[in-house]
Amino acid sequence: MVEKAVAAGVTRLIAVGVDLERSGNAVSLSHAYEEVWAGVGHHPLEPSEPDLAAMRRLARDEMVVVIGEIGLDFEHVGGPHKDLQAQRLNELFAIATDLDLPVSVHNRGAAHELLSAISAHHGIRGVMHYFALDWEWAQRFLEVGFYLSFAGLITRPSRDALRDVVKRCPADRLLLETDSPYGNSQQRMGMPNRPAYLIDTAELVAELRGISLEQLADQERANAINLFQKMK
């Protein structure tokens, strides 16, 4: 998958963890492939308690560029209670702040709470992963210094409001992702997403913003390096 991604023009990848085991796997991948960096995280729907001490140790690895995936998910039935999710998020934000790492934030049905949590952690920086809200919410997260990351969702014909956000997002705050194996583009629905398929999203973003794919690539590289600073 790494070779196919590079061949498609996707030359920097972040393997993101959603629990301690898979965060460790992400770190291992980052040491095996020069194109790969790692994220250490605990997904809000994970039923187990995060081992914060172990996560902190793992996040000190030189290849870890982000604390994530973390966040809040208030839409999934049967997930951890909202209060428990909020407590975990604050603990994970604290690790990011202590280690001077950005965060990759998952949001489903919790935009108000996430904005409050981000605002309470002064100086925290990061990205709203798989952004899917309207321009009003985009502005709010931009105002607290966050980046917006877009995936294959923008290729859905019904997502005009989200495409408007892509057009209006400041160039230096826009990121792209796959959310592999999820988040595929419209033309690849029904098959697992792969890093190489980021090009599907990139081509539409370039078209929407009226720039060339090469110009978008240059901007994306600069944005990623600016946020995930170890990726230089």
Per-residue pLDDT of the chain in tens (232 residues, 90 and over written 9): 999 999 999 999 999 999 999 999 999 999 999 999 999 999 999 999 999 999 999 999 999 999 999 999 999 988 999 999 999 999 999 999 999 999 999 999 999 999 999 999 989 999 999 999 999 999 999 999 999 999 999 999 999 999 999 999 999 999 999 999 999 999 999 999 999 999 999 999 999 999 999 999 999 999 999 999 988 7
pTM value is 0.97
What CATH number should be reported for the domain whose range is 2-231?
3.20.20.140
How many Å apart are CA 148 and CA 142, to the nearest integer?
8
Q: What contacts 168, CB < 8 A, 6 or more positions away?
A: 135, 138
Closest CA to 101 of 159, 38, 36: 38
